[in-house]
Amino acid sequence: MKEYATEQIRNVVLLGHGGTGKTSLAEAALFSSGAISRLGKVDDGTTASDFEPDEIKRKMSINLALVPVEWAGHKINFIDTPGHADFAGEVRSGIRAADFGIVVVDAVSGLQVGTEAAWQNADRDKLPRIFFVNRMDRENANYDQTLAQLQARWGKKVAPLALPIGAQDAFTGVVNLIEQKVYVGEKGTPADIPGDMAGAVATAREQLIEAICEADDDLMNKYLEGEAISEDELTAALRKGIAAGLVCPVLAGSSTKDIGVTKLLDALVADCPSPADVAPR
């Protein structure tokens, strides 16, 4: 693995309730990047990060594990942590080593006790974070309901950065709200926004822009005066807002089908802070 400059590094801790797919997400990131040629499964004991005999036997993470992923000229160090409360010490250690976190939420179960605990632990260490609504391909998956729960709990700084296209068996891709582009399938192939999603995309993008502008006075003035805000301006302000803990964007996907994972990796590179962007804690 080659050497990387500080601005090309992302140290990311995976947080959340047990069983939301954190380990599977790290595995999918490895697979998407080409580091592995076969997508391992927790139930089969074949994932890269759950390698201890007890983890394979119990089909759950017990220790934290480092999963390095190379993507788009950057190195993303995923720190996979256990979700069970008995292993909270591993979670605290992972948070201390990270520059920001991904709180993984199950699209079926929504807001859970472990989601609250992950947020509180991140708050305690002033860790910037984003949400990833996982398992959009599962039966009864509901992104809108999960997003509403997160916003009701933590306010309008929680804003969608991506919308899923379909759900359950019909889940096929995601819409990037800053770019206003669709990416479908496991490889994230570009496509047109479905006509029946135009209204939902416009509404969600407005929520995102409002959240970003709340964190940037100059953009807020432009927004209030009705001036156009460029994609580059939104991306730069989003990155600053995440680093300051003023914006918490929400992405969506499925770690088991690898849909949405490539766009998460893109977001980690383009929208999320490097170690140099984050204030010392």
pLDDT tens column, 217-255: 889 999 888 888 999 999 999 999 999 999 999 999 999
pLDDT at 1: 62
Residue 220: other Cβ atoms inside 10 A: 15
pLDDT at 40: 82
Q: Lowest-pLDDT range, 51-60, 147-156, 177-186?
A: 51-60
* pLDDT level of residue 58 (50, 70, 90 thresholds): confident
Between residues 41 and 119, which one has the greater pLDDT?
119
pLDDT at 278: 80
Residue 232: other Cβ atoms inside 10 A: 9
Residue 230: other Cβ atoms inside 10 A: 9
Q: How far apart are CA 31 and CA 46, in angstroms?
A: 13
pLDDT at 53: 78
Instruction: State phi, psi for 174 to the nearest 5 degrees.
Output: -140, 155
Edge-to-edge order in the sheet of strand 181-184: 162-165, 173-176, 181-184, 189-191
Q: How far apart are CA 270 and CA 274, in angstroms?
A: 10
Amino acid at 227: E
pLDDT at 269: 94
Share of the chain above pLDDT 90, in %: 73
Tokens of 206: 């407005």
- Residues in contact with 233: Cβ distance below 8 Å, sequence separation at least 6, in sequence order: 219
Q: Taking 80 as the threshold, does the pLDDT of residue 165 lie above it?
A: yes
pLDDT at 47: 86
Mean pLDDT of 39-55: 81
Average pLDDT, the chain: 92
Q: Lowest-pLDDT range, 26-30, 63-67, 158-162, 245-249?
A: 63-67
Q: How many helices (H) and strands (E) does the chain have?
A: 9, 11
- Residues in contact with 270: Cβ distance below 8 Å, sequence separation at least 6, in sequence order: 235, 239
Q: How far apart are CA 79 and CA 85, in angstroms?
A: 17
CA angle 228, 230, 233 (to 5 degrees): 120
Quick one: 131 exposed, middle or buried, by C-beta within 10 A (0-12, 13-18, 19+)? buried
pLDDT at 257: 84
pLDDT at 105: 98
Question: Taking each helix axis from N to C terminus, what angle separates 231-243 and 217-224, rounded to the nearest 10 degrees?
Answer: 140
pLDDT at 275: 82
Q: Taking 90 as the threshold, does the pLDDT of residue 145 lie above it?
A: yes
Q: How far apart are CA 15 and CA 115, in angstroms?
A: 8
Amino acid at 28: A
Asked if residues 67 and 30 have their Cβ atoms less than 8 Å apart, the reply is: yes
Q: What is the pLDDT of residues 103-141, one digit of tens each?
A: 999 999 999 999 999 999 999 999 999 999 999 999 999
Quick one: 199 exposed, middle or buried, by C-beta within 10 A (0-12, 13-18, 19+)? exposed
Q: How far apart are CA 82 and CA 52, in angstroms?
A: 13
Q: What is the pLDDT of residues 205-215, one digit of tens each?
A: 999 999 999 98
Edge-to-edge order in the sheet of strand 158-160: 65-71, 74-80, 9-15, 100-106, 129-134, 248-252, 158-160
- Does the predicted model carry a pTM greater than 0.85? yes
